Amino acid sequence: MLSTVRRAFLALTLVAGLLVTAAGPVAATPSAGTLAGVDMERVTIPQLQSAMAAGRLSSATLTRYYLDRINRIEPLVNAVLALNGNALGQAAASDRVRRTSGPRSLLEGIPVLLKDNIDTADQGATAGSEALLAARPDDAELVQRLRDAGAVIIGKANLSEWANFRSFESTSGWSAVGGQTNNPYVLDRNPCGSSSGSGAGVAANLAVVAIGTETDGSIVCPAGANGVVGHKPTLGLVSGDGVVPISSEQDTAGPMARNVTDTAIVLDVIDGVGEDYTDALDPDALDGARIGVWTSVTGDTSPDVDALFQRAISKLQRLGATTVVVEPPYQDQINDNEFPALLVEFDHDIEAYLDATPGPHPADLGGLIAFNRVRAESELRYFGQEIFILAERTGGDLSDPRYQRARTTATTAAQASIDQTLARFDLDAIVAPTNSPAWKTTLGEGDAFEFGSSGPAAVGGYPNVSVPMGYVGPLPVGMSVFAGAGEDAEVLGLAFAWEQATQVRRPPTYQLTLGPQIGG
């Protein structure tokens, strides 16, 4: 764990070097620089592997680079909840494997940051809650896949406590264990979604890649808001074993990275199918594609995003795609039934997780509620636990006809929303803005969330990838690409073609706040 004193000292050191620009005060930008002749802001995993294969770089050197960068930059962003004390040992072991038998995968020696609701035997998983600090789980299945591939688990990313499923007034990026994660583009802005530390950590270049998790929006929204790529896989593609749950009917882990190439490489490793997603990365994938454009998803809440999306549509057309304006149906049925179903599933699934997890911790959801009341000064200091209470009242009964009706309606409507739209217009995929520009973080007042496009793919269990679309002032906005079940390779290929043609992403600016001419 990075000490509070160390964070404070480094934060003061960084803030002491402020620049003042027309856009507002900016911390002296912590450039990623170069390492072994490689531009670390724009490098891809294959380029790192080439440098290691040539002997110009080792995993140990790469891991030290990231540990040093975390020590320098983490006080600004607060994305890393805990470092792995054995990271350098893992890196040294990877270097030995490379010398003796060759790399096991493209992730050999690559530092990876894990959202701290993913179990590891050496660091546990807290879900951001003090209630799980003493839990002693084994490695999640996806973690074992990463280790078998030679990846270096450098640490745990902060998250929204209990994946934002504790209170209606919760603040994305805050947990009692990790504190508040900041958006690295403008530090008083929110990083969005429960995988906030994974998104902000990758954006700030604190690891090569990260793993996030999503129930509805918690990979794609932090990807969009932090200017990175995030892939929410088809449900079941990545094992949910060892991941602190909300609902097995929607939860999935997925990769987050600064580019689509690295995102696909991580998915190659953590999925249970063995498909090579990098084979789908065709820079001409948009040429001749039919793309549905969901222009109404913002609900007129963000004229800047609407204008940005219109420019993106024009660019899609110039890249050879045929675009068709679509309005995916059944949104009310999805929205009205998802939350009631999740309440029942959370009570059932969290109790199953607690029962299977060794170490001292509350035994059930009622125990978590009681724990929070006892630790109210730290756990409930900004918002309550009314969602926990509502979930416990359901009894977690998956045989309840009311629950079964809500789940069936929500999932069927979400899948039909996408399937029927794709079929009606003979589409390859649907695209939509992922997020509104990041809002100012206001602890205790909830999130000023304006719109989201994640619902149909999240509730339906379908793949969704967010790729940088552009900026409103200094704040990133993502474009989501989603399609039918199992079409992960297809959406990654389309996102790759967009990324390669547009080269939208630029490094974070670490502004302290926005100037008066840029809203809010």
pLDDT tens track for 326-376 = 999 999 999 999 999 999 999 999 999 999 999 999 999 999 999 999 999
Cα–Cα distance measured from residue 29 to residue 175, given in angstroms and rounded to the nearest whole number: 26
pLDDT more than 70, % of the chain: 93
What percent helix, strand, coil does the chain show, rounded to 5?
40, 15, 45
Using the CB atoms, write b or e for 354-385: b if 16+ within 10 Å: beebeeebbebbeebbebbeeeeeebbebbbb
pLDDT at residue 458 greater than cutoff 50: yes
pLDDT digits (tens, 9 = 90+) for 135-189: 999 999 999 999 999 999 999 999 999 999 999 999 999 999 999 999 999 999 9
pLDDT digits (tens, 9 = 90+) for 203-221: 999 999 999 999 999 999 9
Split into its structural domains, the chain has a count of 1
In 73-215, which ranges are E strands? 80-83, 111-115, 152-157, 174-175, 179-180, 209-214
Query: What's the pLDDT score for residue 5?
Result: 32
Within a domain: residue 307?
yes
Check residue 108 and give left, alpha or beta (phi > 0: left; psi -120 to 50: alpha): beta
Cα–Cα distance measured from residue 235 to residue 16, given in angstroms and rounded to the nearest whole number: 46
Interval 214-236 mean pLDDT: 98
Within a domain: residue 267?
yes
Q: Residue for token digits 């789940």?
A: 407
Domain around 121: 110-332+408-502
Within a domain: residue 358?
no
Element (H, E) at 322: strand 322-325
Amino acid at the residue 278: T
Query: Two tokens at 257?
Result: 């990275």
Beta bridge partners of 293: 325, 431
Query: What is residue 475's three-state secondary structure?
Result: strand
Going by pLDDT thresholds of 50, 70 and 90, the confidence category of residue 449 is confident
Query: What's the pLDDT score for residue 23?
Result: 44
Sign of the Cα torsion 119, 162, 298, 224 reads: negative
Catalytic site positions: 115, 194, 218
Query: What is residue 449's three-state secondary structure?
Result: coil
Within a domain: residue 190?
yes
* Pairing label, strands 252-257, 229-232: antiparallel
pLDDT at residue 194 greater than cutoff 70: yes
* Least confident residue range of 99-108, 271-280, 284-293, 389-398: 271-280
Within a domain: residue 199?
yes
Within a domain: residue 18?
no
- Domain of 426, CATH number, reads 3.90.1300.10
CA angle 323/325/328 to nearest 5° reads 120
pLDDT at residue 450 greater than cutoff 60: yes
Beta bridge partners of 472: 475
Amino acid at the residue 322: T
Query: What's the pLDDT score for residue 29?
Result: 57
Element (H, E) at 293: strand 290-293
Q: Which of 108, 62, 74 is nearest to 1 (CA)?
A: 74
Q: Report which DSSP code applies to 279.
A: G
Cα–Cα distance measured from residue 158 to residue 339, given in angstroms and rounded to the nearest whole number: 24
Cα–Cα distance measured from residue 64 to residue 62, given in angstroms and rounded to the nearest whole number: 5
Backbone angles phi, psi at 266, to 5 degrees: -65, -40
pLDDT at residue 431 greater than cutoff 90: yes
Please state, as a whole number, how many other Cβ atoms lie within 10 Å of the Cβ of residue 303.
10
What is the pTM for the complete model shown? Answer: 0.93
Within a domain: residue 134?
yes
252 and 240 in contact (C-beta within 8 Å)? yes
Cα–Cα distance measured from residue 349 to residue 213, given in angstroms and rounded to the nearest whole number: 16
Cα–Cα distance measured from residue 262 to residue 207, given in angstroms and rounded to the nearest whole number: 12
Q: Which of 322, 314, 321 is nearest to 470 (CA)?
A: 314
Within a domain: residue 126?
yes
Contacts of 386 (CB under 8 A, 6+ apart): 167, 168
CA 41 to chain centre: 19
Give, to the nearest 10 degrees, the angle between helix 260-270 and helix 45-53. Answer: 80
Q: Residue for token digits 């619902």?
A: 455
DSSP 237-278: SB--TTB--S-TTT-EEEEEESSHHHHHHHHHHHBSS---GG
pLDDT at residue 30 greater than cutoff 90: no
CA distances from 497 to 227, 281, 468, 482 (A): 17, 7, 12, 14
Q: Which of 334, 349, 340, 333 is nearest to 402 (CA)?
A: 340
